[in-house]
Amino acid sequence: MISASKEKLAKRMAGEIALSENPGKTMRKWREIFGITQTSLAKNLGVSSSVLSDYEGGRRKSPGSTTIKKFVEGLIHIDEKNGGKVIHAFGRMFSTDMTSDAIMDVREFSVPVKISDLCAAVEGTVLANEDLSHRPIYGYTVIDSIKAILGMSADEFLKLYGWSTERALIFTKVDMGRSPMVAIKVKGLKPSVVVINGPKKMDDVAIKIAEIERIPLILSHTHSIDVLIRNLRNIFND
């Protein structure tokens, strides 16, 4: 199982870096998903930290296939030494059917996106943990909250996270905002940011949960779900 997950993950990473318009930023995205510092990865690869910094910053020309292969293998090797947390997480996602009536739209980004850019796309206001708005996100999922909260089991709830928890969960058809935040607290997995679309005013308990869990919470003022999804796709060129 773990070997199959490693192979699928390695192919996904290598392909995404090779095809990216900005391979350096995509390399940084994957390094950050693994939670590995430039220093640690550079030591594993036998290069200086400045080499990785130059690639990620776009100061070196696009990496060739050999460099990409070593980069991917280095991340996976370090993760294995640390217990394989990321490999196992992706393995669960690979084995999960990503289709669900509750998922209205899902996207993965080839490069990190700022939460502030997401906030602009959803015409939103940050109501909790604005100090964490610097966090990068690597994708988003637009969710029919009624179908998700009432119809999804704990395992099915994983589908909302796509390929990474470093993403935005965007709940639509919401009256007050409490139920999505309670569901996130109970399920245990924390997204990088939660967006609520629907209510005129956010429920105070929802804001309190977000503050306790240290999850940035955004109230979207977009007047329709179609416009919301269109804005997200336009701003991220998807």
Check pLDDT > 50 for residue 1: no
Residue with tokens 């294995």, as numbered in its chain: 80
pLDDT bin (cut points 50, 70, 90) of residue 186 is confident
pLDDT digits (tens, 9 = 90+) for 151-182: 777 666 766 776 667 889 999 988 888 888 88
Out of 66-75, 181-190, 193-202, pick the least confident.
Answer: 181-190
Q: 81 pLDDT exceeds 50?
A: yes
This prediction has a pTM of 0.65
* R_g of the chain, CA atoms, integer Å: 18
pLDDT at residue 189 tops 80: no
Of the chain, the percentage scoring pLDDT greater than 70 comes to: 88
Determine the pLDDT at residue 217: 95
Mean pLDDT of the chain, nearest integer: 85
Which domains, from first to last, does the chain contain?
A: 2-93 (1.10.260), 99-235 (3.40.1390.20)
- How far is it, in rounded angstroms, from Cα 133 to Cα 216? 7
127-151: pLDDT as tens digits:
999 988 887 888 888 989 888 877 7
Cα dihedral 18, 111, 4, 85 sign: positive
| Residue found under tokens 């850019």 | 117
Residue 2 has pLDDT above 60, yes or no: no
**CA distance linking residue 134 with residue 53, whole number of Å:** 20
| H helix runs in the chain, sequence order | 2-19, 23-34, 38-45, 49-56, 65-81, 85-94, 115-121, 145-151, 154-157, 178-187, 204-213, 225-235
